[in-house]
Amino acid sequence: MRFSFECSGETMGSLEVPTSTENGGSNPPPGGSRNHTAGGGPLPAVANSTPAQPSENDATRKRKASMLPLEVGTRVMCRWRDAKFHPVKVIERRKMPNPASNDYEYYVHYTEFNRRLDEWVKLEQLDLDSVETVVDEKVEDKVTSLKMTRHQKRKIDETHVEGHEELDAASLREHEEFTKVKNIATVELGRYEIETWYFSLSRKCDLKHPPGDEIYRSGTLSMFEVDGKKNKVYGQNLCYLAKLFLDHKTLYYDVDLFLFYVLCECDDRGCHMVGYFSKEKHSEESYNLACILTLPPYQRKGYGKFLIAFSYELSKKEGKVGTPERPLSDLGLLSYRGYWTRVLLDILKKHKGNISIKELSDMTAIKAEDILSTLQGLELIQYRKGQHVICADPKVLDRHLKAAGRGGLEWLKNPACIYYY
């Protein structure tokens, strides 16, 4: 596994950092300037005439040049990969690697989108006509707060802490400051070079397959169980790897209490990681999964639901019901809702007669609260005479199954292939 690094003014270990961010002064105006007359031709020589006024184009150039380099905190419009301009905030800046150039590039956050889309952009992608004056953020927040309704404030607060519900305001600011710039640009895994989404620490790994025990094999798929206590460095590196793609991921340095289940596609070159999930060895809250990650090249192929299904198969073998640890990431929540929906609808469609939530929980190892919330979201449950009643009309079930799409569970056709002790 290889990494391509980007850094914001600091080095990590013995890694070579290509460029560094600076707080340098202003740049000279790019290129030269030309003087033109309003009519497009040269002015005749006139004694005691006043000098020609610079054209609007020259004035615009000078005004834009005076803004450069843009300050951290500047808000401006930026051309994104869809060729449209979107509002961004400058998070960091650094000089271009060309020593002969005084130009800067800027690390920006697209304020309409998730942090995973933050990136370094060149000056030509920015619309300098849209630059907003840099103001003190505390003052700006106070002025904005006075103009917002209570409902608007609550919506903004919910957006800011999404995925970080366990952090207080001070910890959240510290987290955002420390992780504001992605330090690793790409990760090479097997035949894939993957663009990362967030900041994380990580180290190169040359293993051909995960350490630990292979507890599942079917076709080209294998699952390895890795004990964090026996393979501490590998477990920590899995956490670092997940942090590149999960903004809310908390880094655990003490992985002794966790088991890691690593799913791989195997070929003659080795076992290539598809994704993984972790779980506590002993959870008082019945958590059967702590963190789940499907790497971007393997997403939308059913692997996420495979990992979820595997966690519930382990719970069945343990004779327990399970539920994922909260908070879930946005992608994790979508995967779980899809899994719960598919599993429950399949059972309800095939089952004859009445069935209770307790019976569904015993059959699936899904916690009763998760079953209840899923069925309520599908409007398949009603509260009558002090108890919840499942209303499973066959036509309604078919409609929901069609909307749920491909289950992804066909990968786990034979749970008997799980060798779990």
Two tokens, residue 399:
């409609």
Report d(CA 74, CA 86) in Å as an integer: 14
Bond preceding residue 327 cis, omega within 30 of 0: yes
The angle at the Cα of 401, spanning 396 to 403, to the nearest 5 degrees, equals 95
Q: Which amino acid is at 230?
A: K
Phi, psi of 135 (to 5 degrees): -125, 165
Q: Are 230 and 277 in contact (CB under 8 A)?
A: no
Bond preceding residue 69 cis, omega within 30 of 0: yes
If residue 331 lies in a helix (H) or strand (E), which one and from where to where?
Answer: helix 330-350
Report d(CA 388, CA 378) in Å as an integer: 14
Report d(CA 365, CA 271) in Å as an integer: 30
325 has catalytic annotation: yes
Two tokens, residue 113:
């989108």
384: which DSSP letter?
E
CB neighbours (10 Å) of residue 372? 15
Q: Are 311 and 322 in contact (CB under 8 A)?
A: yes
Q: Are 112 and 96 in contact (CB under 8 A)?
A: no
Q: Are 144 and 75 in contact (CB under 8 A)?
A: no
CB neighbours (10 Å) of residue 61? 19
322: which DSSP letter?
B
Q: Of the residues 56, 225, 325, 369, which is catalytic?
A: 325
What SS3 state is found at 346? helix
What SS3 state is found at 49? coil
b/e per residue 192-218 (b: at least 16 CB within 10 A):
eebebbbbbbbeebeeeebbbebbbee
The sign of the dihedral angle between the CA atoms of 154, 160, 166, 170 is negative
Write the DSSP string, 20-69. -B----PPPPSS------TTSSPPPP-TTPPPPPPPHHHHHHHHHHHHPS
Chain-centre distance for alpha carbon 16: 26
Q: Which residues are catalytic?
A: 325
